[in-house]
Structure 1
């Protein structure tokens, strides 16, 4: 872990210990998806000092398989304190039970790439006081949501400036019978090219160098640990700068509730650092 992340974590822990205040505003909305012809429940967490005259960065935070829009705020309530500390907005959309955040051709119920990266971003930028460029927009998530966040960020590099994954399913190929993936894109045996094309590890070549700030973490006892190590190695091979972290932990909320502390510190650093905005918005 780099020194600047350690600095943010030390500062954060001190503030959390000393402060019992948690005043962030949590809104739950149904946001219309034209692509799916339905409303999508979404949680928006606003900092206590939210000012409509200001401009706030936004972190899009995705849930995992079988989860829902309120998983993060219910299972990791410290997010609300972190929003107040860092003064940016967190948006948690519902990604369906098993969407994997894909657009499925011919299935109007599964257009979650379009919803999250186009319709939702447009809605948030239209209805909230956001800074409307990629230098102030990040996306991350857990498990299926980690897969979704990395896929969406790579496929929409003009939309997001930073991305992450915690315990992410970053290579779906070793799991041909799991998590309803075969119900979305067909079986591995019948649609091998779809499985190849939709595995994050096979999208690394699409990354423009220094275009996305990346953070990836996974517990050593997690069943996704090996695929996360593999993507770390592939990013290194392609000279794609990224932060990779691992520690003891399994595929559960005990791990994810700690991970989000690290990840939100990372994204705060991205949002607040001095950058060449002309260069980053090319």
Structure 2
């Protein structure tokens, strides 16, 4: 595998930004890690999103994501978005425009990754789980699958508990409910459209996680709406041991086209 730290200027944010990128490399003599390159000119890609207190380095620092994806022939793009909840902030930067429009375009221009829907996936933890579902449900034509690990899928709890910070991100509760930031409303809209090509969704959460009830409520709503959701729960807290194990399950679940090694 090839690992790159990419620092670049974002026209959308008006500041320098960063992402870490893992790219497949076909190897036969590397010790201790099986690797598979893609036979395609452009690699399938997983956009892997961080949580509220983290950045673009965290998945590499807390998990073995590079080793997990090595046999799969898939690229991984890990961007930094601060504490933005992947939103165009009321008082701050336009991180939604950045993550949904500018970043994929730049990543495809910098690296040999595919723009095809069937090759594009997104996953994240906590705030990143929210971001992953928001991307997939906002752009079902771009993503084949999305995974949320301990996701903050109903951000109402964040608005209620962090009023000052949430006001800078979303505005008040009235601004949030029914908006494009409201994943419950977004799910209802996608279901009402009867979209035949909704992305596959994977949701998991530990039963000891403070976001467990939040996840159960979202699961129930998604299932009532008939969304293509795979749901898993089990022992676990809001911590990296759980996420390190679960990202491996996500990679097994992704509808990847298998590459010959």
Say whether the fold is shared (TM-score over 0.5): yes
> Equivalent residue for 1:135?
118
1:119 is aligned to 102
User: Is 1:178 the counterpart of 2:162 in the alignment?
Assistant: yes
**1:31 maps onto 2:8 in alignment:** yes
State whether residues 48 and 122 of structure 2, in contact with CA within 8 Å, keep that contact through their aligned partners in structure 1. yes
Residue 219 of structure 1 corresponds to which residue in structure 2? 206
Q: CA deviation at 1:196?
A: 4.7
Kindly report which structure 2 residues correspond to 1:27-66, keeping only aligned pairs within 5 A, or say none.
27-49=4-26, 50=37, 54-66=41-53
- Distance in structure 1 (CA, Å) of the matches to 2:40 and 2:205: 38
Tell me which stretches of 4 or more aligned residues in structure 1 moved more than 4 Å.
50-53
The answer to whether the Cα contact below 8 Å between 1:52 and 1:129 also exists between their aligned partners in 2 is no
Segment of structure 1 superposing worse, 54-63 or 124-133: 124-133
Residue 251 of structure 1 corresponds to 238
**Hey, what's the Cα distance between the residues in 2 that align with 1:140 and 1:44?**
15
- Using structure 2 for the length normalisation, give the TM-score: 0.86
Equivalent pairs, count: 241
After TM superposition, list the pairs within 5 Å mapping 1:69-108 onto structure 2: 69-76=56-63, 78-96=64-82, 98-105=83-90, 107=91
**Aligned partners of 1:31 and 1:120 also within 8 Å:** no
| Post-superposition CA distance 1:234-256 (Å, at most 9, x none) | 12111112110111001111111
- Contact (CA 8 Å) 1:167, 1:222: kept in 2 or not? yes
1:99·1:112 contact (CA, 8 Å) conserved in 2? yes
Contact 2:87–2:170 (Cα < 8 Å) also in 1:
no
Kept in 1, the 8 Å contact 2:89–2:168? The answer is no
Which structure 2 segments of 5+ residues have no match?
Answer: 27-36
In structure 2, what is the equivalent of residue 235 of structure 1? 222
Instruction: Name the CA distance, whole Å, in 2 between partners of 1:151 and 1:53.
Output: 29
Instruction: Using the TM superposition, give the Cα deviation of residue 52 of structure 1 relative to its aligned residue in structure 2, in angstroms.
Output: 9.5
What CA distance in whole angstroms lies between the structure 1 residues aligned with 2:8 and 2:184?
31
Once the two structures are TM-superposed, the CA of residue 209 in structure 1 deviates from its matched residue by 4.3
Measured after TM superposition, the shift of residue 51 of structure 1 is: 6.6
Q: Which residue of 2 aligns with 1:169?
A: 152
Distance 1:31 1:239 in 2: 40
User: SS in structure 1 opposite 2:210?
Assistant: coil
1:127 CA drift (Å): 2.1
User: In angstroms, what is the RMSD of aligned CA positions?
Assistant: 1.9
Q: For residues 154 and 161 of structure 1, what CA distance do their matches in structure 2 show?
A: 11
Structure 1 position 183, deviation (Å)? 2.7
1:261 to 235, 238, 248: 248
Shift of 1:210: 4.1
